[in-house]
Structure 1
């Protein structure tokens, strides 16, 4: 791996249909096959974008059964990676995403 996690992941999905299917059905296992470990407690959902679909990702506004907020909260970041990749990340998971990206970069440097 080159250390550019998003580029390598995208390239692999575009060139390997079996990997793309596995990435959507079992992302942790698929990422492990690339040398990337998902931190414990982190759940990963991968959607391979289709050209004829529109996707909506609605971030959670509150914990289940807690009172509704009085004003909208900015609870997610929209991250882009060189125009190829978009992350929608709840604030609580941002540091876990950074750890995942760092692990991918380190795996690339070792190989």
Structure 2
């Protein structure tokens, strides 16, 4: 099940930029997020996640960047496909080896 993206990337970027620009006007990051989230039309927790993700992508916060996560996902998918192909080839090889043995015994 995929979650729908209610907000466009442009809205997300604008919201994150607003938080970053006005962060100094509030005592904490959470206070800035709580103030700006209703103006964007999202819940504060969602906006906080966007801000954290933007900070990770910018290298300001430790963690896996969006690009790295996407690349890892692609590699895992490719690995899964290769394992499946190897299983098919292994099964086919065993089948043909057995068929060759059966043919030699009948001769």
**TM-score normalised to the size of structure 1?**
0.28
Q: Which has the bigger relative contact order, CA under 8 A and spacing at least 6?
A: 1
Larger Rg: 2
Instruction: Say which structure is richer in strand.
Output: 1
Q: TM-score, normalised by structure 2?
A: 0.29
Decide which structure has greater helix share. 2
